[in-house]
Amino acid sequence: MTASIIDGKALAGQIREEIARDTAEFTAATGATPCLAAVLVGDDPGSQVYVRNKQKACGRAGIDSQLYTPPANTATEELLALIDRLNRDPKVHGILVQLPLPDQIDERRVLEAVDPVKDVDAFHPENVGRIVQGRPRFLPCTPHGILQLLHRNDVATAGANVVVVGRSDIVGKPMAILLMQRGAQGDATVTVCHSRTRNLAEVTRGADILIVAIGRAKFITAEMVKPGAVVIDVGMNRTPEGLAGDVDFEHVKEVAGRITPVPGGVGPMTITMLLRNTLTAARLQTA
């Protein structure tokens, strides 16, 4: 039996309508318009497309956006000076530094320089610590988007065996932490797998919910998936045949119970949660 598709694009559209209504109410009540400042260093084509999509999404939600494009040879100190200006600008509520940065830039210093109250990606150590303690200011965009996909599609996490393949700071680690938290959208038993995991297929076959974020096209095969499992594919890989996820979609969909497509699954939800965080940041700073 073929898996049912978890449509991230449709859900993202629904949530963006909710955000647009909330933003309009906020602006009417305070006179302030939420504003996201995006910093894109260099001219990476993939990053340019991604940032443009974020700007378009902001406009549709009633959120102002600013784009700063320092050249690829920008030094760390120059980028830090720009971040400092944005931190001090009261009209800017959220700051997004598009990753990856050029090799000569100290990425950690840059991310730590962003004011935690404007850190809408939730990368700052203060925000990461708050997430670990279960009292987040913001939730990281991709993991939050996945939680919404599960919750709004009535996928229960409480008591479920969840396997996260990938241990990045952006997806794998925060995803595991959020699913382990007590309460709604949490209470799962979580296993995190990575390049050193032994007998990976045996581990993934035990997952009621399998979340894959490793950046390797079609890495997860049908033999690695428990029949009826929910499969969330975070991957976005460019191949000669076009975009592909980390999951071999055509074969895994014949085993899984529910599955996200690529594109049209997790990606639209990531941008949507960025909009939500920008509105939250505006509320915090206005209050």
Q: Tens digits of per-residue pLDDT, 189-232?
A: 999 999 999 999 999 999 999 999 999 999 999 999 999 999 99
pLDDT for the residue numbered 214: 96
Model confidence, pTM? 0.95
Selected catalytic residue, list 22, 64, 119, 121? 121
| Top CATH class, 141-267 | alpha beta
Q: Indicate if 133 belongs to the active site.
A: no
* pLDDT for residue 51 is more than 90: no
Selected catalytic residue, list 22, 64, 98, 173? 98
Selected catalytic residue, list 54, 118, 173, 218? 54
Please provide the average confidence, as pLDDT, over all residues in the chain. Answer: 96
Q: Residue ranges per domain, the chain?
A: 31-115, 141-267
* CATH number of this structure's domain 31-115: 3.40.50.10860
Q: Indicate if 56 belongs to the active site.
A: no
Average pLDDT (260-271) is 96
pLDDT for the residue numbered 13: 97
Q: Indicate if 64 belongs to the active site.
A: no
For residue 174, which of 159, 161, 190, 160 has the smallest C-alpha distance?
190
